Amino acid sequence: MAKSGRTKQREADLEYNVAKQVEKMISEVHEQALLSCEAIHRERRILLKQEIGRMVLFFTDQPSLLAPNIQMVFSALAFAQYEVIWYFQHVGIASSKSKAARVVPVDMDPNDPTIGFLLDGMDHLCRLVRKYIAAIRAYALSYLSSCAGRIRFLLGTPGMVALDPDATLKILFQQIVQHLDNIPKPQGENISAITCDLSDFRKDWLSILMIVTSARSSINIRHLEKATVSTGKEGLLSEGNAAYNWSRCVDELEIQLSKHGSLRKLYFHHQHLTAVFRNTMFGPEGRPQHCCAWLGVASSFQECASPIVPEEVTKIGRDAVLYVESLIESIMGGLEGLINILDSEGGFGALEMQLLPEQAAFCLNNSSRVSMPSVKSPKGAISFPLPGHESYPENNNSIKMLEAAMQRLTNLCSVLNDMEPICVLNHVFVLREYMRDCILGNFRRRLLTVLKTDNDLQRPSVLECLIRRHMSIVHLAEQHISMDLTQGIREVLLSETFSGPVSSLHLFDKPTEQHTGSATEVVCNWYIENIIKDISGAGILFTPVHQCFKSTRPVGGYFAESVTDLHELQAFVRIFGGYGVDRLDRLMKEHTAALLNCIDTSLRSNREVLEAVAGSMHSGDRIEREACLKQAVDLETMIGFCIEAGQALAFDQLLAEASRSVLEEGAPLICSLLAGLVKHIPEEVPEKKEIRRMRKVANSVGLAGDHDSEWVRSILEEVGGANDGSWSLLSYMFATFMTSNIWNTTGFNIDTGGFNNNIHCLARCISAVIAGSEHVRLEREHQQRQLLSNGCESLDPDIRVSADASIKSAMQLFVKFAAGIVLDSWNETNRSHLVAKLIFLDQLCDISPYLPRSSLEQHVPYAILRSIYNQYYSNSPSMPLALLTASPRHSPAVALAHASPITRQPRGDLTPQYSANDSGYFKGSSSHSQERLYDGEIGSLRSIELKHQTVRRSGPLGYSSTRKVKHTEGSTSGSTGPSPLPRFAVSRSGPISYK
C-alpha cells in the first residue's frame, strides 16, 4: 500500500512538473508573440498603406472598374479596420516594470504615421463607394440577372440529376432561381429608383448551405461541388456564393459599407486618438491632409450608444463633440504653426536677407530674355551667383523645410476647403469657417505681438515689412481657399485702427466717446509718451535740418530718429491709414490743449503784472519794466510747456507731410484737388462750417498755408480757448521769456539747425499761438457784433486782411520788445545769453509767415547776426566758407547794402521759407549746403567773403588779425555750447550801444 501511494505521488508530481513546463512554454510563447506582434502589425500597416494608396489612385482614375472589384474594396476596408482597432487597443497600455504584472505590454510607437494613411485611405474608399453607389448597384443587378441562367443550367446537368436531391433541396433550388428571375432589369432607368428585397434569396441560399453541410443530409457539400464543377468553369456552390455576395450589394450596400468602413469602436479609445493625432499629423512623416479622416471618425461614435439608455446617448455625443473640438483646435494650431514658420525670421525672413537686389535683378532680366525666343541667353561670367546658389550648403535643409511647410500649408488649406461639414448630434462643424477665423485671428495676434519688441516699440517700416510678409503668406493660402481672406485682413486692420461706429467716420464733430483700435492706441500712446512728453528722459530734440526728432540715448531699442523721420512716419500712415493719423493727431491736440490751458492760466494770474510790463515797454521806462518783470511768476514752467507745445507742432507737421506723400502716391488726383481747392477757399471771418472742414482736411495733409497756426486755431476753437481779455497780453508774456535763466545754458548747433535744449520749438509755439489766438479772438468779436446787431450787419470782405494785419502787428510787437529786453539785459561781464537770444529771434522771423525776413533788422543790425553766423560756420570743420548762399535776401552782408530791405507780404511767396533742404545761412550744415552749389558759385562767394573781410576792419564785431590768431588758439568748438564766441565775450567795446 505504501509503495502504491508513493507511485501515485510520483505520478502526480510528474504531471505537475509537466503542466508547469507546458505553462511556462505557453507563457514564453505568448510573451514572445506579444513582443513580435507589433513588428508584424507594423509591416501589415505599411503594406496596407501602400496598397490602399494605390487602390485609391487606381479607382479614382478608373471609376468604371470599382464595381467589378467591390468585394476587394470591402476586404481592404475590413483588413485596415482590424489593424487600426488593434493599434489603438494596444497603444494606450503603458509599459510596466513590475515582474508581477499579469499583462505584458506591447511596445507601441505613438508616433506611427501609418495610422493617418490608413484612416485617410479608408475614408477615400468609402467616399468612392458612396459616389459610385448607383453604378455598383447596377453592376450587381446585371450580375444577378446573368447568374440566374447559369444556376438553372447547373441544376439540369447530369451530375445534379445523378445526385437526386430530396424534395426540400429541389424546392429551395427552384426558389433560388425564381428569386433571381424576379430581379428587375436595369435598362437605362434610374438605378436609385429600383427597389428590391433579396433577403429571402439569401435566406434560402443559407438554408441550402446548412442542409448540405449537415451530417444528416444525403447530399454532402463536396458532392454538390464535384457534380457541377466538371460541367463548367464555376460550380453551383461558387455561383450561389457569388450571387449571395452580389445580392448584398443591391439592398445592403450601405450596411456593408458601415460594417467594413465604420470605426465606431474607436470611441472607446478616443483619448488615445487625440494623442496619436497630435503626435503624427504634423510630424516629419505626417500629412496634414489626413485631418479630415481623423475628424470623420467622430460621426460614427454615436452608433456605439444604446437607444434604450438616454444617458449613454448624451455621454457619447458629448465625448464626440469634445473630440472633434480638440482635433479642430490641434488642426488650427498646426495651421497657425505653418503660417508662423513661414513668417519667422528663419522662414521667408531668411530668404529676404539672403537674396541680394543685384541677384534679383539679374534673375528677372535673365528670365525675361529667355522667355523671348529671338533673344539668346546671356553669356559670360557674373560677379555674383545666381539666386538659389548663394546659400551655404548647410542651409539646404532650411530651404527644404520651407518648401515642405509651404506644401503642407497649401495641402491643408485645400483639404479643409473641400471638406464637408461634420455633423455630430445637433452640432455642425464647418472647417472652412474655422480656418478663416484661425487665419484672421492669427494675423491679429501677430500684429499686436510685433508692435512691441523686447526693448520697445517696433519701427513702423519694419512693422510694415512684417505685415506685407504675413499678407503674402495669407495670399498663398488664399489661392487654395474659396474665400476672400484679403478682405478679412483689411477688416482686421480697420478694427485694430478704428473700432468706433461707422457713422462717426463722417462726422467732423468730436464724438462723445472716443473709440480706437488697440494697435493704433499702443503706437500713438508710445509716440506721445516717449517723443512729445519724453517720459524716459532720453533727451528728445527736434532737428529742423533733418526734419526729425533725435535723442541723446536710445528710446527703448532705437534712437528717436529711427522712428520719427519721414520714411518711418510714411510707413505709419500706410499701416494705420487716415484713422491712425487722426488718432495720433487727436492725442497731440489733447495734450497741446492742456498746455494752452496752462498758458491761459498763466495769463490770468500774471495779468496785472503783464499790464504794468506793457505800460513800461511803451513808455520806455527800463527801470519800471525790470521791476515788473521780476514780479512775473512761473515763467520757467511756462517756457517748458511752450517748448513741449512746439514739439507737438513740429511732430504734427511731420505727420502731415508724411500723410501728404502717401496721399500723393496712392491718390494723386485727390491730393492735387485739395491743393488747388485750398488756393481758392474764400478768406472770410467767421468761416462757414463747410469751408472750415475743408481747411482742416487740407491742413491734416500739409496742404494748408500755415500748418501750425491753423492747428492751434482748431484746438482753441474746440476747447473754447482765448476767450479772455488777458490773451491780448500774449505778446508781452512771450517777451518776458527773454529774461529767463534758460538762455544761460542754451547753445546753437549748426548740424541740427536748432538749440541744444529745444528752445527753437518755443519759436514755433510763439508764432502759432499768437496767430491762432488772434484768429479765434477776431471771429468771436465778429460773432458778438452780429448778435448785438441781430444779424443785420453784413460781412466785411476785408476782415481777413484785418486778421492778418492784427497777427502781424502782434508778432512785430513781440519782436520789438523781445529784442529790446535782450539788448538791454546785455552787459560787459555776461554775453553768453545774447548769442542764443539773437539767433532765436532770427529763427522766429524766418518761421513765422506773418513777419518779413528783415523784421529783426529794425532792432538788431544784420552785421551782428552775420558776424555770429560767420563764426559758427567758419569754425565748423566741414564748412570751408562762412556763408554758402548767393541770395541777397539770405545774406546779411548784402542785405545791409540795401537801404530798404525787401519786406514779405503776409502769406506771400516773395521771400522763400526755409526747410531742412534749404541752404540758409543759419540752417543746415555745410554738407547740405555744398550739395546745392556749383563750383563757380562757391568761387564767387569766396571772393565776396574775402572782399568783405579785407575791406571791413572796424565796426560791429570787427576784429584784427591778432585777435583772430588768439581765438584760433584758444577756441575748442564753435558748433555747440552755451558760448561759442570767445572773442565776442572778451570784447570791451560791445557790438552796438542802445539807449
Whether residue 358 has pLDDT greater than 80 = no
Indicate the range of 199-203, 220-224, 561-565 predicted with least confidence.
220-224
Q: Which letter does DSSP use for residue 93 in this model? A: P
Q: Which residues does residue 555 pair with via DSSP β-bridges, in sequence order?
A: 558
Report the pLDDT value the prediction gives residue 397, as an integer from 0 to 100. Answer: 65
- Which of 395-404, 520-529, 688-697, 826-835 holds the top average pLDDT? 520-529
Of 544 and 963, more confident: 544
Measured distance CA(145)–CA(763) in Å, rounded: 105
pLDDT per residue as tens digits for the range 91-148: 765 544 444 444 555 666 777 888 889 999 999 999 899 999 888 988 998 888 888 8
Q: Label residue 76 by pLDDT band (50, 70, 90).
A: very high
Whether residue 333 has pLDDT greater than 50 = yes
What share of the chain in percent tops pLDDT 90? 13
Q: Taking residues 266-287, report their average pLDDT.
A: 81
CA torsion through residues 749, 752, 753, 759, sign: negative
Joined together, the cell numbers standing for residue 947 give: 572782399
Joined together, the cell numbers standing for residue 827 give: 552787459
79, 148 contact by CB (below 8 A): no
- Which of 225-234, 541-550, 696-705, 975-984 holds the top average pLDDT? 541-550
Given the C-alpha cell 531668411, which residue does it identify? 350
Joined together, the cell numbers standing for residue 675 give: 491743393
Joined together, the cell numbers standing for residue 459 give: 519701427
Measured distance CA(471)–CA(493) in Å, rounded: 12
Q: Taking residues 302-318, report their average pLDDT.
A: 83
Name which of 775, 777, 764 is nearest 722 in CA terms: 777
| Burial bucket for residue 249 (CB in 10 Å: 0-12, 13-18, 19+) | buried
pLDDT per residue as tens digits for the range 889-936: 333 333 333 333 333 333 333 333 333 333 333 333 333 333 333 333
Indicate the range of 288-292, 633-637, 706-710, 839-843 predicted with least confidence.
288-292
Report the pLDDT value the prediction gives residue 936, as an integer from 0 to 100. Answer: 38
Report the pLDDT value the prediction gives residue 278, as an integer from 0 to 100. Answer: 83
Report the pLDDT value the prediction gives residue 645, as an integer from 0 to 100. Answer: 93
Q: Taking residues 458-474, report their average pLDDT.
A: 89
Please give the C-alpha separations between residue 738 and each of 763, 837, 838, 846, 853, in angstroms, as whole numbers.
Answer: 12, 7, 10, 18, 21
Measured distance CA(511)–CA(508) in Å, rounded: 9
Report the pLDDT value the prediction gives residue 2, as an integer from 0 to 100. Answer: 57
208, 200 contact by CB (below 8 A): no
**Maximum Cα interatomic distance, the chain, rounded to a whole number of Å:** 159
Q: Taking residues 772-798, report their average pLDDT.
A: 71
Q: Which letter does DSSP use for residue 480 in this model? A: T
Whether residue 796 has pLDDT greater than 80 = no
pLDDT per residue as tens digits for the range 167-212: 888 899 889 888 888 888 766 556 666 778 888 988 989 998 898 8
Joined together, the cell numbers standing for residue 625 give: 519794466
66, 132 contact by CB (below 8 A): yes
Of 312 and 380, more confident: 312
Report the chain's C-alpha Rg in angstroms.
47
Of 747 and 365, more confident: 747
pLDDT per residue as tens digits for the range 626-664: 888 888 888 889 999 999 999 999 999 999 999 999 999
One-letter amino acid at 982 equals P
Q: Label residue 943 by pLDDT band (50, 70, 90).
A: very low
Of 683 and 854, more confident: 854
CB contact set of 423 (below 8 Å; sequence gap of 6+): 299, 429
Whether residue 692 has pLDDT greater than 50 = yes
One-letter amino acid at 899 equals A
Measured distance CA(431)–CA(481) in Å, rounded: 11
Measured distance CA(61)–CA(42) in Å, rounded: 29
780, 686 contact by CB (below 8 A): no
One-letter amino acid at 773 equals S
307, 139 contact by CB (below 8 A): no
Report the pLDDT value the prediction gives residue 57, as an integer from 0 to 100. Answer: 94
pLDDT per residue as tens digits for the range 805-825: 888 899 999 999 888 888 887
CA angle 461, 463, 467 (to 5 degrees): 120
Report the pLDDT value the prediction gives residue 647, as an integer from 0 to 100. Answer: 93
Report the pLDDT value the prediction gives residue 966, as an integer from 0 to 100. Answer: 34
Angle between helix 566-605 and 689-700 (nearest 10): 130
| Burial bucket for residue 358 (CB in 10 Å: 0-12, 13-18, 19+) | exposed
Q: Label residue 990 by pLDDT band (50, 70, 90).
A: very low
Q: Label residue 348 by pLDDT band (50, 70, 90).
A: confident
Q: Which letter does DSSP use for residue 532 in this model? A: I
Of 454 and 394, more confident: 454
Report the pLDDT value the prediction gives residue 891, as an integer from 0 to 100. Answer: 35
Alpha helices in 451-534 (DSSP H): 460-478, 485-497, 518-527
Strands 748-749 and 754-755: antiparallel
Report the pLDDT value the prediction gives residue 500, as an integer from 0 to 100. Answer: 58
Of 564 and 499, more confident: 564
DSSP secondary structure of 8-45 = HHHHHHHHHHHHHHHHHHHHHHHHHHHHHHHHHHHHHH
Own/partner pairs for 794-798, CB < 8 Å, 24+ apart?
795/684, 797/684
Of 473 and 165, more confident: 473
**Mean pLDDT, all residues of the chain:** 76
Measured distance CA(271)–CA(302) in Å, rounded: 16
Of 421 and 722, more confident: 421
Whether residue 364 has pLDDT greater than 80 = no
Report the pLDDT value the prediction gives residue 129, as an integer from 0 to 100. Answer: 92
Alpha helices in 606-736 (DSSP H): 607-619, 622-629, 635-666, 668-679, 689-700, 707-719, 730-736
Of 789 and 597, more confident: 597
Q: Taking residues 451-458, report their average pLDDT.
A: 78
What are the backbone angles phi and psi of residue 442, rounded to the nearest 5°?
-65, -40
Report the pLDDT value the prediction gives residue 572, as an integer from 0 to 100. Answer: 92
One-letter amino acid at 169 equals L
418, 481 contact by CB (below 8 A): no
Q: In this structure, what is the dihedral angle of CA atoms 681, 687, 693, 699, given to the nearest 10 degrees?
A: 60
Q: Taking residues 439-462, report their average pLDDT.
A: 85
Q: Taking residues 263-273, report their average pLDDT.
A: 86
Q: Is the peptide bond before 686 cis (omega within 30 degrees of 0)?
A: yes
Q: Label residue 47 by pLDDT band (50, 70, 90).
A: very high
Whether residue 54 has pLDDT greater than 90 = yes
Joined together, the cell numbers standing for residue 921 give: 545761412
How many CA atoms are closer than 13 Å to the CA of 910, on its beta-carbon side? 14
Joined together, the cell numbers standing for residue 572 give: 505709419
Terminal-to-terminal C-alpha distance of the chain? 157
Measured distance CA(652)–CA(20) in Å, rounded: 96
